[in-house]
Amino acid sequence: MIVLELAEYSDVALFLLRIWIAILFGTSGWAHARNPRERGESVGLPPGPTFVLGIVELAAALLLVIGFWDQVAALALILVMLGAIRKKALVWKTGFWGEGATGWYYEVLYLLCALVILTTSGGSIGLD
């Protein structure tokens, strides 16, 4: 390792990653759950599944913040991102980079962040 002393902060880095991902998905989930009809139209889903999507995102965000069942939360978010990537890439035929931030590269990034949380159990900071 280049800077060995930084390894002792990996739990802090994982905690910050969890908080950031929780903010991203929590705000998205809140918007989906609060206004499922309008949000559903924007993502091509009926209001019912949009509401459920919002609840899943909110629950995962809460679990990541408190550090409880981090892997379950991360797995749920990976599935959400796989659905978003599928929708953008295969249904909407959006390219990876898209136009005007409409590509699916952010979804891949969020999926990889959730994969880091899944494979590291989110670090040792939290209730688990």
The 10s digit of each residue's pLDDT in 64-118 is: 999 999 999 999 999 999 999 999 999 999 999 987 668 999 999 999 999 999 9
Side-chain-facing half-sphere of 60: CA atoms under 13 Å: 33
Global pTM reads: 0.93
Contact at 8 Å (CB) between 89 and 112?
no
